């Protein structure tokens, strides 16, 4: 009797241990599964509609993670041109294909009235921030330059955008004026007659609205231009962002503030996301 009882106790203990182990394995599997799903939902998802599908919670108790910003279409390429360069090149180039009118290849731009920062340095700083913000949002991003010591004409910059078949060619500049009270963010867009007039104007409007919503940034409109070499040689939608006036003390100091510049570029990036939809 004692032997059989001992066997029963052993058997019962064995069953309890087995049940406990099964519970542990099952519980662990559940946890692993949750982590993997969480990681998947944290990945940038390229197709907007799939974002909802991927993160649709099957179980409300699962941890929710912050969603990435609305994602652009797949393979949406942005070419960013940080305007100007350290040394101007005054050799001439046609302002448009087939045009007899010429302009200097590239200038060194304006400079800050109180910071003395050259425009070509500011546009590169802004370009590198915008590259980072757009890459994070899933765009393919190409910069026409990553250094100040380059020699790339405005026509050549447009041709780089054409070669990359850019979905949008964004040119970054800051303005200068004889009147130091003139200030504010504005956008230049190709005038009617440009082969990409409609798409460029649409992008300009959407990006302008995104910046205008930001109460901390002064905005003063969109201008149509037919005299800009970098527009006229572009076969892709394009626009030129004038981030502010470096000849205005407030704009100049704001643009040299890394937080202000990042905020402005974040607004621009959100505008690009909206345009890409």
Choose between 151 and 202: whose C-beta lies nearer to Zn ion: 151
Binding mask 217-256 for Zn ion (x = CB under 5 A): ----------------------------------------
Of 19-27, 87-95, 167-175, 207-215: span binding Zn ion (CB under 5 A)? 167-175
Choose between 83 and 112: whose C-beta lies nearer to Zn ion: 83
Residues 6+ apart with CB under 8 A from 188: 222, 223, 224, 225, 228, 231, 239, 240, 242
- Select from 79, 51, 71, 52 the least CA-distant residue to 270: 71
Give yes or no for a contact between 82 and 120, defined as CB atoms under 8 angstroms apart: yes
> How many chain residues interact with Zn ion (CB under 5 A)?
3
- Give dist(CA 250, CA 184) in Å, integer: 9
Give yes or no for a contact between 229 and 161, defined as CB atoms under 8 angstroms apart: no
Of 14-22, 102-110, 206-214, 226-234: span binding Zn ion (CB under 5 A)? 102-110
Give yes or no for a contact between 172 and 241, defined as CB atoms under 8 angstroms apart: yes
Q: Least distance from C-beta 176 to Zn ion, angstroms?
A: 8
- For position 109 contacting Zn ion by CB under 5 A, the verdict is yes
Tokens of 156: 């050549």
- For position 176 contacting Zn ion by CB under 5 A, the verdict is no
Q: Least distance from C-beta 127 to Zn ion, angstroms?
A: 12
Q: Least distance from C-beta 268 to Zn ion, angstroms?
A: 16
Of 142-150, 165-173, 205-213, 251-259: span binding Zn ion (CB under 5 A)? 165-173
* Window 51 to 90, contacts with Zn ion (CB under 5 A): 83
Q: CA separation (Å) from 132 to 5, 27, 86? A: 72, 40, 23
Choose between 121 and 167: whose C-beta lies nearer to Zn ion: 121
Which phi and psi (to 5°) does residue 165 adopt?
Answer: 45, 50
- For position 173 contacting Zn ion by CB under 5 A, the verdict is yes
Give yes or no for a contact between 93 and 153, defined as CB atoms under 8 angstroms apart: yes
Tokens of 176: 């200068």
Choose between 130 and 273: whose C-beta lies nearer to Zn ion: 130
Q: Least distance from C-beta 139 to Zn ion, angstroms?
A: 24
Of 106-114, 136-144, 185-193, 216-224: span binding Zn ion (CB under 5 A)? 106-114
Cα atoms in the 13 Å half-sphere on the side-chain side of 4:
1
Q: CA separation (Å) from 277 to 1, 76, 203, 222? A: 80, 10, 11, 21
Nearest residue to Zn ion by CB is 173
Q: Least distance from C-beta 73 to Zn ion, angstroms?
A: 30
Q: Least distance from C-beta 78 to Zn ion, angstroms?
A: 19
Q: Least distance from C-beta 240 to Zn ion, angstroms?
A: 8
The site for Zn ion (CB under 5 A) is made up of: 83, 109, 173
């Amino acid at each position: 009797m004692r032997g059989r009882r001992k066997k029963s106790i052993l058997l019962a203990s064995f069953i309890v241990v087995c049940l406990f182990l099964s519970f542990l394995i099952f519980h662990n599997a559940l946890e692993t599964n949750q982590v993997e799903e969480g990681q998947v939902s944290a990945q940038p998802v390229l197709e907007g509609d799939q974002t909802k599908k991927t993160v649709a919670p099957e179980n409300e108790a699962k941890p929710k993670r912050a969603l990435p910003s609305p994602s652009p279409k797949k393979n949406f390429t942005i070419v960013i041109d940080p305007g100007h360069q350290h040394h101007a090149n005054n050799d001439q180039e046609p302002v448009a294909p087939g045009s007899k009118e010429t302009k200097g290849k590239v200038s060194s731009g304006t400079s800050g009235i109180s910071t003395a920062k050259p425009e070509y340095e500011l546009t590169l700083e802004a370009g590198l921030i915008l590259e980072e913000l757009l890459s994070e949002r899933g765009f393919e991003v190409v910069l026409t330059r990553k250094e100040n010591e380059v020699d790339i004409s405005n026509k050549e910059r447009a041709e780089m955008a054409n070669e990359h078949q850019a979905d949008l060619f964004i040119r970054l500049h800051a303005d200068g004026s004889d009147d130091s009270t003139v200030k504010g963010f504005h956008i230049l867009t190709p005038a009617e007659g440009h082969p990409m007039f409609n798409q460029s104007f649409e992008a300009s409007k959407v990006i302008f609205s995104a910046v205008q919503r930001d109460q901390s940034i002064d905005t003063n409109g969109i201008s149509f231009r037919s005299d800009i070499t970098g527009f006229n040689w572009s076969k892709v939608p394009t626009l030129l962002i004038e981030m502010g006036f470096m000849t205005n003390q407030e704009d100049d100091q704001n643009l040299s503030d890394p937080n202000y510049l990042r905020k402005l570029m974040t607004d621009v990036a959100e505008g690009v996301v909206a345009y890409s939809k």
